[in-house]
């Protein structure tokens, strides 16, 4: 018998119970699933960062904790968690949503859509947009989400550069890695998309110095994590014109406080952490398939590297 504890909270339980049971039934596993269980009996925990469960020490036979979100910065530092931790990678749901968000917001800036959508003076100003091949885009982070977004942008004709921690080869994407590679990745980027995790190594990555290395008038799209950008440096770069616009989906404090200057800034678009959400049905299938792998002695997919923090 495989005992699975759903510790992601009562609201998500209401959404997930049926899809999870359906997905687990399809694996043929003999299992129990619920929101309550004696800790020493639990094999797997389905988890979300806001969970009340913070002390994993009593879960003595735990085989893995499976996070429902892609971001794991709120759990990687938990010293009581010694079992493997997996994060959400879901091509059908989470990744597809992010590809749509990133493509939409890149195209908005590339095509200069705002000038026509908000045109109270009814100005007839025929500024014909560039073609995508004339607009270099850089994607910082070439993981599950970054690679999918870079691939779609390359498919649309943008010259795409990507940057990661370790060396990567991605079809139709010019790849750089490591500290040295960052300067090269930023040098030509007219639009920068951030799809990095929040780790000690990525915090304040886009600071005043790095923002200044971007071409004049570059655009930032950040569905990654708020701490990747130094807020004050970004505001200064926007005011100076170095950065023409920032579309931000993630923030250091969420919800973004009502008095935060991003809300009122004319060159900032705030979206409320909606770039992409875990989709229940496909995520339930990902979790069930990974539990099945664990029970069959196969390596778990989407394992978090606790030392690297993602
Ligand atoms: N706004 C939203 O709705 C939303 C939804 C889902 C996810 N997210 C965010 O998106 C992030 C990315 O998700 P993912 O699934 O693509 O993650 P992932 O598969 O873990 O990929 C992370 C990428 O970042 C790179 N990276 C990490 N640390 C780095 C460093 N110090 N220097 C250079 N590159 C570094 C990794 O390099 P390697 O390839 O070398 O490992 C990898 O390419 C998540 O962590 C989360 O914060 C946001």
Residues lining ligand 1, CB < 6 A? Answer: 70-71, 89, 94, 141-146, 163-166, 168, 195-199, 201-202, 223-225, 249-250, 273, 275-276, 310
Mean predicted confidence (pLDDT) in 91-104: 98
Supply the pTM of this predicted model: 0.97
Cα 299 to middle of ligand 1, angstroms: 21
**What is the reported pLDDT for 176?**
98
Contacts of 51 (CB under 8 A, 6+ apart): 7, 8, 9
| Banded model confidence at residue 282, pLDDT cuts 50, 70, 90 | very high
Give me the active site residues, please.
225, 273
Q: 184: how many CB neighbours lie within 10 A of its CB? A: 14
| Banded model confidence at residue 52, pLDDT cuts 50, 70, 90 | very high
Burial class for 40, CB neighbours closer than 10 Å (0-12, 13-18, 19+) = exposed
| Banded model confidence at residue 103, pLDDT cuts 50, 70, 90 | very high
- Residue identifier of the C-alpha nearest atom 7 of ligand 1: 70
Tens digit of each residue's pLDDT (9 = 90 or more) over 266-281: 999 999 999 999 999 9
Rounded to an integer, what distance in angstroms lies between the CA atom of residue 78 and that of residue 92? 30
Rounded to an integer, what distance in angstroms lies between the CA atom of residue 269 and that of residue 146? 21
pLDDT > 70 in the chain, percent = 100
Copy the structure tokens of residue 132. Answer: 């995508």
Tens digit of each residue's pLDDT (9 = 90 or more) over 112-122: 999 999 999 99
Cα 70 to middle of ligand 1, angstroms: 8
**What is the reported pLDDT for 77?**
93
Q: Phi and psi (nearest 5°) for 128?
A: -75, 130
Tens digit of each residue's pLDDT (9 = 90 or more) over 179-188: 999 999 999 9
Closest atom of ligand 1 relative to the 196 alpha carbon: 24
Mean predicted confidence (pLDDT) in 47-56: 95
Q: Find the Cα–Cα–Cα–Cα dihedral 84, 275, 202, 67, rounded to 10°.
A: -10
**What is the reported pLDDT for 33?**
98
Closest atom of ligand 1 relative to the 179 alpha carbon: 32
Distances (CA, A) of 11 to 7, 35, 101: 11, 11, 25
Mean predicted confidence (pLDDT) in 209-238: 98
Mean predicted confidence (pLDDT) in 47-66: 96
Mean pLDDT of the chain: 97
Mean predicted confidence (pLDDT) in 196-209: 98
Cα 25 to middle of ligand 1, angstroms: 32
Residues across the chain? 310
């Amino acid at each position: 018998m495989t005992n699975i504890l759903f510790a992601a909270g009562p609201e998500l339980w209401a959404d997930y119970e049926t899809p999870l049971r359906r997905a687990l039934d399809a694996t043929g596993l003999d299992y129990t699933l619920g929101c309550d269980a004696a800790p020493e009996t639990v094999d797997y925990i389905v988890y979300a960062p806001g969970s009340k469960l913070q002390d994993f020490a009593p879960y003595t036979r735990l085989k893995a904790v499976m996070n429902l979100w892609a971001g794991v910065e709120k759990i990687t530092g938990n010293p009581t968690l010694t079992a493997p931790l997996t994060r959400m990678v879901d091509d059908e749901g989470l990744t597809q949503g992010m590809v749509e968000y990133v493509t939409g917001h890149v195209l908005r800036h590339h095509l200069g859509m705002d000038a026509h959508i908000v045109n109270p003076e009814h100005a007839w100003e025929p500024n014909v947009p560039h073609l995508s091949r004339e607009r270099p885009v850089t994607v910082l982070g070439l993981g599950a989400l970054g690679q999918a977004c870079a691939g779609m942008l390359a498919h649309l004709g943008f010259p795409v550069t990507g940057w990661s921690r370790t060396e990567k080869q991605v079809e139709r994407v010019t790849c750089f890695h490591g500290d040295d590679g960052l300067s090269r990745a930023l040098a030509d980027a007219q639009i920068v998309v951030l799809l990095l995790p929040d780790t000690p190594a990525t915090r304040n990555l886009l600071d005043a110095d790095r923002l200044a290395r971007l071409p004049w008038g570059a655009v930032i799209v950040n569905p990654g994590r708020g701490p990747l950008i130094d807020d004050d440096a970004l505001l200064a770069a926007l005011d100076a014109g170095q950065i023409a616009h920032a579309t931000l989906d993630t923030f250091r404090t969420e919800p973004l406080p009502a008095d935060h200057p991003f809300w009122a800034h004319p060159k900032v678009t705030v979206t409320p952490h909606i770039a992409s959400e875990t989709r229940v049905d496909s995520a339930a299938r990902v979790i069930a398939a990974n539990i099945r792998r664990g029970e069959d002695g196969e390596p778990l997919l989407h394992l978090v590297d606790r030392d690297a923090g993602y």
